Structure 1
Amino acid sequence: RPVRTDRGGASVGAYLDDVGDDEPGESGIPDDTAPAVDPQERLLLATVRACLENAAVRADRLAAAGPVGVFTGAMWHDHARGRDTAPDGTAAVPTGTGLAHRVSHVFDFSGPSLVVDSGCASGLAAVEAAVRSLRTGQCTAAVAAGANLVLDPSHLEFLAQAGLLAESADSRPFSDRSDGWIPGEGIGAVLLKPLARALADGDPVHAVVRGGACRHSGRTRDYGMPGPERLEETVRAALADAGLSVDAIGYVETSATGAALNDALELDVLGRVFGDRPRPLPVGSVKGVLGHMEAASGFGQLARVLAQFRRGRLLPTPVPDTGGDGTLAGGGGRVRLVRAEEDAHPPRRVLVNSFAGTGGYVSLVVEAPPPRTTAPAPDGPVTLPLSADTPTELTRYALRLAAFL
């Protein structure tokens, strides 16, 4: 459905009908109800199911072992805007605030079920909240997730009126041409357990959350203006919660979106916090590749960090117009951008920042997984039994496995 505005007659968006309807049977929502349910819910359920499958964990056994919490970052409720009926004529269900509850219902998870709205920091705030819940014993395992789909023109119109969207397709974090962010869409989920239990259960451990902090800028000159002192406090609080010094951090996955003022502020804060290091601190941002996924952006950042752990090297941030050795103007010369793959000093501990224009700040310290001993690979062919609910899904599953191998 192309949508046009009167701003010079330029097309500002093309929106798909029936988003999330191409995976029948995978959402767990009855067929007669699904068309009226927020597509974010339907795709989130499929994503959580894929997350559990990736971890080789059965939902019923996970639920039977103790309360499982669900913490979902979300900030937009586009499905409820301007849509009195679903495509088939049934009443639309404005359930943008119920994302976590649908997951808890479908998978029979009885722990805390919370939708976390901290603006663009919502995804990482959901992870931080899940970690706190695990630490206090409120749940024995937790699913942290984030969802961000652009389903209605009002979504982008609001961001455009606020002056947040990039005017140029060349706008990238740390670029001389940065003038705002390029929106992205995505849904992500991770399964969290206490480390000792995950190791005892034989789970594949991709990373360990050592600590984190969730704060707000408080009162600044204008609503939405960043607060550098509170931002610095958040970073230092995350390091303290992890019990680590600044020298222990080998890389920072920044919150940088392409909004020049906020990006520069983050660099200045990192320069103050890490200024005594013998070498400049490596930093980067995945948002120059994925766009800024707002409430789900933290999961794009985490995916990049996990990829770096798996590969044992730092991945580049594409910024074609940055010259010299990559040292950035902000940060007092103590911060450098990773512009090419580096494997000389693969980081074991990483700081991940996620900051919202409404003042929410989240920092997490993520550590590479502990070394694991694995059995030697057997000689000759290996039989892998596959199962699925329908022949069609079985074929899809087999093709995905073949592509992965």
Structure 2
Amino acid sequence: MAGVVPDRTPSTQRNRVGAYYGTTSNDWGEVNSSQDIDTYYIPGANHAFIPGRVNYSFKFTARVLLLTAINLAITSLKNRDCDTAITGGTNIMTNPDNFAGLDRGHFLSRTGNCKAFDDDADGYCHADGIGTLILKYLPDAIADSDPIFGVILGAHTNHSAESVSITRPLADAQEYLFKKLLNETGIYPHDVSYVEMHGTRTQAGDAVEMRSVLNSFAFDHSRPRDKSLYLGLVKANIGYTESASGVLANAIIKVLLMMQKNTIPPHCGIKTKINQGFPKDLDHRGVRIAQKDSVDWSRPARGKRRVLVNNFSAASRNTSLLLEDSPAIHPVRQHQDGDTRTEYVVAISARYTKALEENLKALEAFIANSWAPEGELLSQLSYTTTVRCVHHNRRVAFVTNGLDDLRKSLLNAAVTAGQVKGIPALSPKVGFLFTGQGA
């Protein structure tokens, strides 16, 4: 989806691309070294707690660097240490010790659900996951005709060092981050229409986060009726992916998809009744939680939607990010709107014969299931496959004037993919020929 081709533009030169990832545990290294597992196994042994423990012990409340991969990526872009940042988080669980430690530390739900906002919320469910984002300066992304899904206005992190427990969130610390973001970006609280919550999935933790959000974005009953604030969180749907969630990747991906689809999906975490620790005047504050049906969330005719994404860790680290809609006019769509071609070049490549065959079949299936107008889809396919894809050594190209013709060509090529010879990965010899006069 990102369409990043190394060395295609100045901002994608290989020496200007950085990678920033967060991870929770080293299961493989620990799988054969388990000891007696008790309540303090996770807070005492998991490396995600290392910087949090230092901050908590010394009451430092500034930045906690571990697991703030997106913040580090943004800082590197601002400092021009890189021009393109690949960032995200991973959480692959293979070691039962972490399950046992989290259970004995009373982190995990005994009922098997992430019941965020529910009055019977009792913890979270583990989830494997990997989330990746491509970050660039907005002018660079526009110049490179990148597909822009959203714009990050600001991001900050701090630590709840003054909380009663290292695993207990602190409303004051979260409010400080929210208001700092609003002040630095000049965004009025009522202009934020959605908050992607962290959701501890416990009654006490959810109530603390709700208080900090309301105090910052819906502190009284003055929010206009046409500017409701919606709340939700992806963990209720897919579980808690820990470090993949801890760097905000999965939450941001959800929000970007919401913007793309112009829809707020229903929150599925409330199984019985809403948390009784929440204020009773949510409706009067203009705060909504979509529960049964999706809510239309179209982009304003004049203006942009703005979203706060909130996250905090079990080690008391808080991270918040403010983002808004992408530019209204996208350079790629502008180009496609003026595309007057009657024939289009579509190119497919792969490193191996089997991969080439599968790529050809996958593109045919994509076309078969697409609802896009023929001319628009052909223009997009031609641009994406020729300009925004890495060209590997086994290649097939087609000149086509229609989708039916292209689908037939793709299926025929898939049958004969084994006959495609790979281009040797050798640098060609280059010669220069000059004329005599004026050379």
TM-score between both structures, scaled by the size of structure 2:
0.66
CA contact (8 A) 1:226 1:359 kept: yes
Q: Deviations over 1:84-138 (max 9, x none)?
A: 9xxxxxxxxxxx99xxxxxxxxxxxxxxxxxx964xxx3xx21122112111222
1:286 aligns with 2:237: no
3-state SS, counterpart of residue 77 of structure 2: helix
Given that 2:117 and 2:270 are in contact with CA atoms closer than 8 Å, whether structure 1 keeps it comes out as no
Corresponding residue for residue 368 of structure 1: 325
Structure 2 residue matching 1:203: 3-state secondary structure:
coil
Is it true that 1:198 corresponds to 2:141 in the alignment? yes
- In structure 2, what is the equivalent of residue 64 of structure 1? 13
Separation in 1 of the partners of 2:229 and 2:276?
9
Residue 396 of structure 1 pairs with residue 358 of structure 2: yes
CA gap of 1:222–1:329, structure 2 versus 1, over 3 A, is closer
| Whole-angstrom distance in 2 between the partners of 1:323 and 1:266 | 18
How far is 1:83 from its partner? Answer: 4.5
Seq. identity, %: 28
Q: Is the 8 A contact 2:121 2:202 kept in 1?
A: yes
Relative to structure 1, the CA distance from residue 322 to residue 128 in structure 2 (aligned partners, 3 Å threshold; closer, same or farther) is farther
Matched, 1:343 2:293: no
Question: Aligned letter for 1:317?
Answer: H
TM-score for the superposition, normalised by structure 1: 0.71
Cα distance in 1, alignment partners of residues 188 and 366 from structure 2: 38
**Residue identity opposite 2:19 in structure 1:** V
Q: Deviations over 1:53-104 (max 9, x none)?
A: x2222234465365222111112111111349xxxxxxxxxxx99xxxxxxx
Quick check: 1:169–1:182 contact (8 Å CA) kept in 2?
Answer: yes
Q: How many residues align?
A: 317
Q: Find the partner of 2:30 among 81, 89, 99.
A: 81
Q: Secondary structure at the match of 2:199?
A: coil
Q: Post-superposition shift, 1:381?
A: 7.4
Q: 1:301 aligns with which of 243, 248, 251?
A: 251
Note the alpha carbon deviations across 1:237-256, whole angstroms, 9 max, x for none: 22233331212211001101
Q: What is the alpha-carbon distance in structure 2 between the residues aligned to residue 250 and residue 319 of structure 1?
A: 20
Kindly state the Cα deviation for residue 355 of structure 1 after the two structures are TM-superposed: 0.8
Q: Over aligned residues, Cα RMSD in angstroms?
A: 2.8
Residue 310 of structure 2: which of 353, 359, 366 is its match? 353
CA deviation digits over 1:271-321, x for unaligned, max 9?
Answer: 111124235521001111110000001222111111111111212211454
8 Å CA contact 2:169–2:209 kept in 1: the answer is no
User: Secondary structure in 2 aligned to 1:151?
Assistant: coil
Deviation at 1:190?
Answer: 1.1
1:385 to 335, 338, 347: 347
Change (3 A) 1:225 1:320: closer
| 2:288 aligned counterpart, secondary structure | strand
Match of 1:233 in 2: 176
Q: Judge conservation of contact 2:115–2:270 (CA < 8 Å) in 1.
A: no
Pairwise CA distance, 1:260: 2.4
Worse overlay, 378-387 or 130-139: 378-387
Provide the rounded CA distance (Å) in 2 between the counterparts of 1:201 and 1:226: 41
Structure-2 residue corresponding to 1:110 = none
Read off the aligned partner of 1:364 and give its amino acid letter: L
Partner of 1:313: 263
Q: Distance in 2 between matches of 1:74 and 1:237?
A: 27
Identify which range, 335-344 or 297-306, moves more after superposition: 335-344
**Equivalent AA in structure 2 for residue 77 of structure 1:** N
Aligned partner of 1:248 in structure 2 is 191
Shift of 1:184: 0.9
> What is the distance in 2 between the residues matched to 1:364 and 1:79?
32
2:114 touches 2:269 (CA, 8 Å); kept in 1? Answer: no
- Tell me: CA distance 1:257–1:401, structure 2 relative to 1, closer, same or farther (3 Å): farther
Pairwise CA distance, 1:331: 8.1
User: More displaced, 272-281 or 258-267?
Assistant: 272-281
Aligned counterpart for 1:273 among listed residues 199, 216, 235:
216
CA distance in 1, matches of 2:154, 2:316: 21
Q: How does 1:142-161 map to 2 (within 5 A)?
A: 142-161=85-104
Structure 1 unmatched runs, 5+ = 1-53, 85-95, 98-115
Distance in 2 (CA, whole Å) between partners of 1:134 and 1:79 is 33
| CA distance in structure 2 between the partners assigned to 1:380 and 1:178 by the alignment | 58
- Between 1:357-366 and 1:68-77, the stretch displaced more is 68-77
2:115 and 2:271 in contact (8 A); partners too? no
Partner-residue secondary structure (3-state), 1:212: strand
Structure 1 match to 2:398: none
Rounded to whole Å, the distance in 2 between the matches of 1:344 and 1:308 is 8
**Quick one: structure 1 residues 174 and 355, their matched pair in 2 at CA, closer, same or farther if it must change by over 3 Å?**
same
Deviations 1:195-220 (A, max 9, x none): 00110111111111111111111132
For residues 19-76 of structure 1, the C-alpha deviation after alignment (integer angstroms, 9 at most, x for no partner) is: xxxxxxxxxxxxxxxxxxxxxxxxxxxxxxxxxxx22222344653652221111121
Quote the Cα distance in structure 2 between the aligned partners of 1:331 and 1:75: 37
The within-5 A match list for 1:17-28 is none
Task: Provide the C-alpha distance between the structure 1 equivalents of 2:102 and 2:27, rounded to a whole number of angstroms.
Answer: 13
Kindly provide the amino acid, as one letter, of the partner of residue 252 in structure 2: L
Name the counterpart of 1:36: none
Q: Which amino acid aligns with 1:57?
A: V
Asked if structure 1 preserves the Cα contact closer than 8 Å seen for 2:203 and 2:277, the reply is no
SS of aligned partner of 1:385: strand
- Structure 2 residue corresponding to 1:129, chosen from 72, 77, 87: 72
Question: Match for 1:342: what amino acid?
Answer: V
SS in 2 for 1:364: strand
